[in-house]
Structure 1
Amino acid sequence: MAPRRVLVTGAGGYLAAALVPMLRRRLPRARLTLAARRPRPGLRAADLADPAAARKLVERARPDLVFHLAGGRGASEPGALWRDHVAAVLNVGAALVRAAPGARLVVAGSCAEYGAPPPGAVSEGVPPAPAAAYGRAKRAQTLAALSFAAEGLDVRVARLFNLSGPGTPESLAPGAFAAQAARLERAGGGVIRVGDLRPTRDYLDVRDAAEALLLLGLRGTPGAYNVCSGRAVPMSEVLRLVFAAARAPMKAVRDPARLRAAEVRGIVGSHARLTRETGWRPRTPLARSLEDTLAWHRSR
């Protein structure tokens, strides 16, 4: 049966910007409640690290499907990461057990849980070994979310790999390349500052990621799912595709300030479980995704 009441947390963010319009199209009869930490038109303000605020939100929404997208990469302090990712999901889960015990909870996780995995496509069975504070917070978030299965919640964690596409922020490499390129186009060309271009990543368009989240809300079984393209791409290729889409001549210069001391050298995922259980497949070619990333930054 199609969900009747859907709650989206983190509704002011990049991923929600792709998911919410999809929900409106695909679930036109569902009542949507959109929540974010800061008040904005059309969004309900809720600090989910506050148990009372999370409880109030869930009691008002009474959802049968929740997409928990709250908690981005912006925080750098371990305490803030724990608050945004772990405390928030604990509070949302506890509120659902109390006020909406039949709800399905879909949590936006991260491939950062895996850290630096062994060579080859990573399946959900590879033991997580997060290498940085963000990955450790996301691992703790997953464990916290899945723990509510013991209290009857149906929980799915979408381990999102590296995203690109419209709205990609400058904190992510495709967004950083595209934002610089958009500014340089206005100046007639110039230099893009980059970090190490040798690491490989598994890039997925944010719209394909949103489709995966929606399908996990409607199909599949509880547990963790990789949401990825299954293709390893060096950072140098991402930059090359941005240059190919740019409307002015540009070149790259390595900036020591953009180098990371503990860079994961490579990661690529397997989406076999997600495809088998939901029918999902990545649809958007990386070149098009990066063209759309650049177009979005041009419009800013």
Structure 2
Amino acid sequence: MFIPVVVFYIIFCYVPMYGVIIAFKDYNFAKGIIGSSWIGFENFERMFHSESFVQVFTNTLLISLYKLITGFPAPIIFALLLNELWNRKFKKVVQTISYLPYFLSWVVLGGMFMQLLSPSSGPINAVLKSMGIQPIFFLADVKWFRSVLVVTSLWKGVGWGSIIYLAALTGIDPELYEAAIMDGAGKWKQVLHITIPSLIPVMTIMFIFAVGGVINDDFDQIFNLYNEAVYSVGDVISTYNYRVGLISNEYGYSTAVGLFKNIIAIVLLAAANYITKRFSEYGIW
């Protein structure tokens, strides 16, 4: 049963790693990977001296950090709130509604948010107009675009992200709550001294993964929402890589950018794991 999984990762994850050497070559499609001339670290030097790359790298970190700050605690809070619902039917309805956005692609959601946030016909700007506020072009305003990315990402993923915490909550021994009630502990103290400490192992692992994914921006979301007016605040490594690689056909340079991105992700993951292991007994290795 394990063989198909191993074969999948070998074919689609490990074999393509051979193409990483394109980052060190002046890649020519006609000559192929082997035939292309070797240029060493020239692509990386170009990357580090490029003002546009510095800008997209900064945008990537800022947007990902904003998402981490809001998106990491949100599923935990949502799971704790759902756990306190006694009406099972209502709880299932709320869970189902919160999960649905996760299964919608950003192509669909991008069109939906463009209509909702439209300065001329969008309902949000209609409300602002009724309050005497000038319409805001959220998707073309550098002051609002990052906020739109954070809020829409949170809306899409909070329900799905709460599943693992809900599963962890079901594993807490009910006798702990019964003992706490006998000692006169209210709901807040039960959550503070039983629920949250029981979730710490899961929270630690999820936090490590979240930190490791800081550099891995959400290409689908940004690509379907951004435009040239907000490149200065919304252009990230993956969208930049798409333009220089697939549109400008600079395969060697785009591979160097992608390799650098993956190295940073590994460093962040290892650092987060090391720090959490230093201050707790939990980690991914």
TM-score of the superposed pair, with normalisation by structure 1:
0.22
Structure with the higher helix share, 1 or 2: 2
> Who wins on radius of gyration, i.e. which is larger?
2
TM-score of the superposed pair, with normalisation by structure 2:
0.23
- Which structure has more relative contact order (CA 8 Å, sep 6+)? It is 2
Structure with the higher strand share, 1 or 2: 1
